[in-house]
Amino acid sequence: MWGREFVLAARACGKGNFAITMEHVLPNILSVLIVQATIRFAIAILAEAALSYLGLGTQPPQPSWGRMLSEAQTLLFQAPRLAVFPGIAIAFAVLGLNLLGDGLRDLFDPRLARKR
């Protein structure tokens, strides 16, 4: 990124590394960073739920959607809502984070700002 034309032009104007980073480089990578952060957070939710479902996650005083699913598995035919609601919560949380990341990418992407 430091060899790109806009960085070389900013350096030719006498700007320092910090100013170039804040004014030119950061706006170009901000959308990618936001999308990566929201996707990683969604993956972390899925990983915690999977580990808790297997009994390797958080321990009983702390709530966990994966442990709720695991405990509801034995009562699936008597009370299916005990398994449905944590599953829906996991799905909505992951979907919400992915949609949030896409929306923020659209908001902060400088290439898309030119088209608006």
pLDDT at position 3: 73
Task: Write the DSSP string, 59-87.
Answer: -TTS--HHHHHHHHGGGTTT-THHHHHHH
The whole-number pLDDT of residue 2 equals: 61
Tens of pLDDT, residue by residue, the chain (116 residues):
567 787 888 888 888 889 888 888 888 788 888 889 999 999 999 999 999 999 998 888 899 999 999 999 988 889 889 989 999 999 999 999 999 988 888 887 766 666 65
**Looking at residue 116, what DSSP letter applies?**
-
Instruction: Determine the pLDDT at residue 65.
Output: 93
User: pLDDT value at position 12?
Assistant: 87
CA distances to 67, 68, 85 from 81, rounded to whole Å, are 15, 11, 6
pLDDT score of 44: 95
Locate the domains of the chain by residue range. Answer: 30-113
Spatial separation of the C-alpha atoms in residues 22 and 42, rounded to whole Å: 28
The whole-number pLDDT of residue 52 equals: 93
Residues 92 and 96: their CA atoms lie apart, in Å, by: 6
CB 38 within 8 A of CB 101: yes
Q: Is 16 helix (H, G, I), strand (E, B) or coil?
A: coil
Report the pLDDT value the prediction gives residue 114, as an integer from 0 to 100. 60
